[in-house]
Chain A
Amino acid sequence: QQPVQSPQAVILREGEDAVINCSSSKALYSVHWYRQKHGEAPVFLMILLKGGEQKGHEKISASFNEKKQQSSLYLTASQLSYSGTYFCGTEGNYGGSQGNLIFGKGTKLSVKP
């Protein structure tokens, strides 16, 4: 039930691009992306909803393939501040409880000068 994130870790030079993937074995209603720096709270980046609606930062883009139950986060022209661990949180497309997120294990991104 826990979504699978890939890669587990990635090292970039400033200015390079990265893609982080998140896939689930269950039908999804939404995918949420967060970034967490060491010792800090997760910070909201993006939410993608079934049907195509998105909410998030202008400089970060993401896709959500409902049929494949996959989402990808695209980080372009990376900056040092992008370093951190990226988590996807998935919300199931089932009746009953809504809102609780099942998080992946995270992708650790390091951006070097």
Chain B
Amino acid sequence: NAGVMQNPRHLVRRRGQEARLRCSPMKGHSHVYWYRQLPEEGLKFMVYLQKENIIDESGMPKERFSAEFPKEGPSILRIQQVVRGDSAAYFCASSPPMTPRNEQFFGPGTRLTVL
């Protein structure tokens, strides 16, 4: 059973370009979460999605960032017009339906570097 998959693992962008990060949850998991981690810091929640629905985006910056989890295909985190401050590791996690609460399984992360 494959784990959470993220690609690309490393992404380099110049300021002003767009970054598109993909996440495929574990089989049977319907919940996806995106987190951002700066060097030597903890994980910061960004957004929580179920298929075709954004459940909680309270951690997402209001501008330039968007996320989706379509009916078919991976979840996408999109960052438009990237700036140097967007450089970080972006992790996605997935979990099965929460009855009761379930652990979240993390993917290997995408390390974004903005030049």
Given A47-B103, A49-B100, does the pair A99, B43 have CB atoms closer than 8 Å? no
Contact check, A99 vs B42: say whether CB atoms are below 8 A apart: no
Q: Say whether A103 faces chain B, with CB atoms less than 8 Å apart.
A: yes
Contact check, A49 vs B101: say whether CB atoms are below 8 A apart: yes
Closest 9 CB pairs of A and B: A97-B56, A41-B106, A103-B42, A103-B43, A44-B103, A105-B42, A100-B48, A100-B45, A42-B106
Chain B nearest CB from A57 CB (Å) reads 11
Given A41-B108, A105-B41, A105-B42, does the pair A99, B48 have CB atoms closer than 8 Å? yes
B residues touching A (Cβ–Cβ < 8 Å)? 31, 33, 35, 41-45, 48, 55-56, 58-59, 91, 95, 98, 100-109
Q: Say whether A43 faces chain B, with CB atoms less than 8 Å apart.
A: yes
Interface size of A by CB at 8 A reads 28
Contact check, B43 vs A42: say whether CB atoms are below 8 A apart: yes
Contact check, A32 vs B43: say whether CB atoms are below 8 A apart: no
User: Which of B56, B101, B106 is in CB contact (< 8 Å) with A29?
Assistant: B101
Q: Say whether A111 faces chain B, with CB atoms less than 8 Å apart.
A: no
User: Which of B31, B91, B100 is in CB contact (< 8 Å) with A42?
Assistant: B91
